[in-house]
Amino acid sequence: MAAALDRLWTKFLPEIEQRVALLEAAIEALSSGSLSPEQRQAAYAAAHKLAGSLGTFGLQRGTELARQCEDILGPDFAGADLGDLKKWVVELRALVQSRRG
């Protein structure tokens, strides 16, 4: 079972990394005041997909972090605590990197 999960991880890693990158880009845009509604929606969707998938690969903390990001970036978005969002996405990136190898 572990070997099968490792193969799936390898297969889906590019998509997972792309989703984390979308969150990172949204944070950059948010910090510069240029986060568009489309970019917020893309980041929200990325967080939602990460929340739904990371636990499958043994990254429960990643699921929790992605859900927190999803909550902030959701339809009721009214700004965000940028510090928390940055911290969560940095931790998400680190978790993905740690599972990588």
Residue type, 9: W
Question: What are the pLDDT tens digits along the chain (101 aa)?
Answer: 888 989 999 999 999 999 999 999 999 999 999 999 999 999 999 999 999 999 999 999 999 999 999 999 988 877 667 889 999 999 999 999 998 65
> Is residue 44 a contact partner of residue 74, using CB atoms and an 8 Å limit?
yes
The Cα–Cα gap between 3 and 16 comes to 19
The model's pTM? 0.92
pLDDT tens, residue by residue, 24-44: 999 999 999 999 999 999 999
What range does the domain containing 89 cover? 2-100
The CATH number of residue 73's host domain is 1.20.120
- Which tokens hold the place of 76? 């009721």
Domain count of the fold of the chain: 1
